[in-house]
Structure 1
Amino acid sequence: MKLKRFHLRYYPPGIILEYEKKGCLRSKSIDLFDLTPATNPDELVAVIRQSEPLITESRANQVKQLILRLQQKQGQKNHRFCFIKELKAHVLPLTNVAFDKSGSRFLTGSYDRTCRVWDTASGTELHRLEGHSNVVYAIAFNNPYGDKVATGSFDKTCKLWSAETGVCFHTFCGHTAEIVCLAFNPQSTLVATGSMDCTAKLWDVETGEEVAALIGHTGEVIALCFNTVGSQLVTGSFDHSVSVWDVASGERVHTLIGHRGEITNVQFNWDCSLIVTGSMDTTCKLWEVVSGECVATLAEHKEEVLDVCFDLSGQLIATASADGTARVFSATTHQCLVTLEGHGGEISKICFNPQGSRILTASSDKTARLWDVQSGSCLQVLDGHTDEIFSCAFNYEGDTIITGSKDNTCRIWY
């Protein structure tokens, strides 16, 4: 094996090794989830060298410099967000918002049957993606590439568009009811769609053909997520169950049984070892991917858990509830670390910033809030919307926020 080059991954922190083996170029990652600005880089290099033969003595200083760059990125101060611009984006309420990886563009979907592509810095509409005959509900860029957009609609179709020109490449037809969730795989070769027809489907990005129909749920498929290597897909359903699917074969690997209410969201952690699920039964559950066993039930909320997510390192879990609170749990000890209190209505969306130091929540009280992960204190109230906020997102750098509201507008915060 011969080491060719290094690549840095800022969020979550890691170093990608590109190397040659038997004439083929391959890569593997050194995950540094526990890295902090206080970590001793020399000691960390020594630990890495013990387990990674590609890091020879001659490469040690190069690895140290990469670690110092990661620490410098971590040491950047979190800032207070300022309201920059309100976009009267649509003539009917928004459904979702989504950034591309660079954060230079974002999407808005709407009940007005369109998806729009926006320039973040100027607030200029770049493209209006028209062609659906009903609500555009689920939207996504094919990050990290950002050259394609997928839109899922209540008209039972998903469309694939050029993010550069706005041209529609394919219309994926086959579902018999509304499409309510979708995702690109990490390689951007497949789109997964989930529907009220109780199925999920996999579609080929290049040809537009259906690759697999994932059949087995007896209720609407409301949430789905690929793992970070694209080998598995998890789906959550109103039938109270969660399914794990092998992407290559389309076969179901596990059925995760245990929730007593509709599933609201599902997500893999970064290293693909755990799945977190939120449910209308007021609980969040943590599942081991290999065995399909439930390893923890997080039962702190008094009302429905409406959203749930991991931080990028997979060490923390955040939950949002109809009881008006959000909570942060340890993914290893399963203990509730902090409770985020202050919203005057249900919290429908929650997400970590890429650094894992802040949490963003969106609520029916017409505000979004920014929270400190360690202390649980509210750092900032993002107000100005005149109706409930049901979508919010950080960009990849964590220095820009988009909020989308039922008031037909989205707001940009830097």
Structure 2
Amino acid sequence: MKLGGIKTVENAHDDSVWAVTWAPATQTRPPLLLTGSIDETVRLWKSDELVLERTNTGHCLGVVSVAAHPLGSIAASSSIDSFVRVFDVDSNSTIATLEAPPSEVWQMRFDPKGTILAAAGGGSASVKLWDTSTWEVIATLSIPRPEGPGPKPTDKSGSKKFVLSVAWSSDGKRLACGSMDGTISVFDVARAKFLHHLEGHFMPVRSLVYSPYDTRLLFSASDDAHVHMYDAEGKGLIGSMSGHSSWVLSVDVSPDGAAIATGSSDKTVRLWDLSTRAAVQTMSNHSDQVWGVAFRPPGGDMRSGRLASVSDDKSISLYDYS
């Protein structure tokens, strides 16, 4: 497995690019790359050419997360302006505007069926679930404090439960979220029930992703410079991968399930072979920290694998994955 650089777009946005995702192919178009920036816009790019299709406005502060529905027709963007904007990918028309108090939405993900939008709730120490047919909140999953020895938390330490990241299992039955204190919480979605914490990180967990082929296998990226593999059902840490020299800000798993990619504040993108749990390649396209990495989902007439990365340097890089 390897990455090959295809194209880098400098100054793809007017400010730092913090969010990246792919809108899957539809019957009428190939996949599109969506990027969100501190410049308050979401931009949509043609899949292989990285040619700008359109710029979406509507937020009045920086965009911190973008999420695409599995059918590719709609997407959502969240901003530090306290709003989530749900929009039609092809027409840019607004479908819904969801209000969240300050810092209550940090990262979002649609479930595999596209019926629920989950949002990591920032300072509320919870994850909100929206029904995508009505755009009403159907559940709020609150994160309990870990039990065990040690000093009891005070109100002043409540911010440590600030929720940064969220991920769905491939069957949509489990939801994991990562917090500022390094803990990962796993929920049974149907019962809206907290199951357990996954431990091992001691610094913020910025990004999470489940394997597309194993509903138990969860990957996490943390400011402690490590990437962890968990058995999210058995509560076990399977392995820890190190190699980045600074915070790991983003992790994504390849569509074939054989590799993960990570982006770091050390300005690099790394490709990891999961069979050996070792980094097999380091890409240094960016000149500032890499906030997001995202593999293109399979579908449409696309035969080749692609990975995109975005950075504080305002650029987007696209790589071939083979």
TM range (shorter): 0.7 to 0.9
**Which of 57, 60, 79 matches 1:130?**
57
Question: Structure 1 CA distance, aligned partners of 2:10 and 2:188?
Answer: 41
- CA drift at 1:406: 1.0
Counterpart Cα distance in 2 of 1:96 and 1:297: 28
TM-score, L = length of structure 2? 0.77
Equivalent residues in 2 for 1:175-214 (5 A)? Answer: 175-197=101-123, 198-214=125-141
Q: Take 1:83 and 1:386, find their aligned partners in 2: how far apart are those partners?
A: 17
- Number of residue-to-residue matches in the alignment: 291
Q: Does 1:353 align with 2:276?
A: no
**Amino acid corresponding to residue 230 of structure 2 in structure 1:** L
Matches within 5 A, 1:110-125: 110-125=37-52
Alignment check: 8 A CA contact 1:114 1:129 kept? yes
- Does the aligned pair in 1 maintain the 2:220–2:251 contact within 8 Å? no
CA distance in 2 between partners of 1:154 and 1:82 (Å): 32
| Unmatched 5+ stretches in structure 2 | 145-157, 299-303
| Higher RCO, 1 vs 2 (CA within 8 Å, ≥6 residues apart) | 2
Q: CA deviation at 1:399?
A: 2.4
For 1:7-406, what aligned pairs fall within 5 Å after superposition? 81-102=4-25, 104-143=31-70, 145-197=71-123, 198-217=125-144, 218=158, 219-249=161-191, 251-256=192-197, 258-259=199-200, 261-264=202-205, 265-269=207-211, 270-277=213-220, 284=228, 286-289=230-233, 293-296=234-237, 298=239, 319=241, 321=242, 325=243, 347-370=248-271, 376=278, 378-379=280-281, 381-397=282-298, 399-406=305-312
- The amino acid that maps onto 1:98 is T
By percentage of residues, which structure has more helix?
1
C-alpha distance in structure 2 between counterparts of 1:253 and 1:377, whole Å:
33
Which residue of structure 1 aligns with residue 152 of structure 2? none
Partner SS, residue 180 of structure 1: coil
Q: What SS class does the counterpart of residue 355 from structure 1 fall into?
A: coil
Query: How far 1:137 sits from its partner (Å)?
Result: 0.7
CA separation in 1, counterparts of 2:89 and 2:162?
29
- Measured against aligned partners, the alpha-carbon deviations of 1:232-276 in whole angstroms (never above 9, x if no partner) come to 322222244433333334x32313164462451444444423545
- The equivalent residue for 1:32 is none
Task: Check conservation: 1:175, 1:195, Cα contact below 8 A.
Answer: no
1:80/1:276 CA distance change after superposition, 3 Å: closer
Deviation at 1:383, TM superposition (A): 3.7
User: In structure 1, what is the Cα distance between the partners aligned to 2:296 and 2:121?
Assistant: 27
Amino acid of the structure 2 residue aligned with 1:162:
D
Query: Does structure 2 retain, via aligned residues, the 8 Å contact 1:226–1:234?
Result: yes
* Equivalent residue letter for 2:305: D
Larger Rg: 1
The secondary structure found in structure 1 opposite 2:35 is strand
Q: Is the 8 A contact 1:285 1:294 kept in 2?
A: no
1:356 positional shift: 4.1
Gaps of at least 5 residues in structure 1 are 1-77, 301-318, 327-343
Percent identity (aligned)? 23
